[in-house]
Amino acid sequence: MNYPHPIIAREGWFFLLIAFGLSACVQFFFGFWWALPLWIIAFFVLQFFRDPPRALPLAEGVVLSPADGRVVVVERCIDPFVEREAIKISVFMNVFNVHSNRVPVDGRVEQLNYFPGKFFNADLDKASLNNERNAMVLRTDTGEKVTVVQVAGLIARRILCYVRVGDQLQRGQRYGFIRFGSRVDLYLPVHARPLVTIGEKVYATRSTLAAF
């Protein structure tokens, strides 16, 4: 989950090796201009898999953003994974955002549920219940339940989650990755107070989405 090379995500090493290796080979045999489109793709892949370290805010009783991106939902709804009323906050990640997913609160993993599904644009509301997704339910030390859902998008085809039921997680801890465009949904207790609005840009660990 945590590893000593935070600049480039390990999930991207294979893709980077292929992209840069192919670009170098084409340039060696055919010249720079033939390789230029491949170099552009290689640098796009490099920026997609960047994974910079993040400083942890000192404030207590807050919910940190689990992903970089843009807030697309702030509403009251039903949490379908624990069947209760909840405050839902969704963060949409485009292909230019960092795609490492981080834990929003300190807590123990109570449930992990993977659901195969479709690949609608993750910016759409129907993606939350129809797309491929992985739901993690955390219980905090104060007994609050927080559901974090990784949702695949139009291009995304692989959700990665590295935790197991029973794991004790710390906020800001890296726990998963979604390849090539996606979203993360948070379902919070109804007494949680949202601190963001629709359209706002947020950053994993650095941004605070809500407070208890």
Domain of residue 40: give its range: 10-48
Does residue 35 sit in the same domain as residue 107? no
pLDDT along the chain (212 residues), means of 10: 62 88 93 93 86 84 93 94 94 86 95 79 63 90 92 72 94 86 90 95 94 90
- 127: which 2 tokens? 């993606």
Does residue 68 sit in the same domain as residue 156? yes
CB atoms closer than 10 angstroms to residue 198:
12
Does residue 90 sit in the same domain as residue 157? yes
What is the CA angle 127-99-74, rounded to 5? 45
Does residue 92 sit in the same domain as residue 176? yes
Does residue 97 sit in the same domain as residue 164? yes
In this predicted structure, what is the pLDDT of residue 141?
87
In this predicted structure, what is the pLDDT of residue 155?
60
Count of domains forming the chain: 2
Q: How far is the C-alpha of 192 from the C-alpha of 79, rounded, in Å?
A: 14
- Look-up: residue for tokens 């963060």? 91
Amino acid at 134: N
In this predicted structure, what is the pLDDT of residue 2?
47
Interacting residues of 194 by C-beta distance below 8 A, sequence separation 6+: 74, 87, 89, 209, 210
Residue 56 within any structural domain of the chain = no
Does residue 156 sit in the same domain as residue 129? yes
Does residue 38 sit in the same domain as residue 68? no
What CATH number corresponds to the domain at position 114? 2.70.70.10
> pTM of the full predicted structure?
0.84
- Look-up: residue for tokens 């552009």? 40
The residues carrying an active-site annotation are 182
The strand pairing partners of 112, in sequence order, are: 136
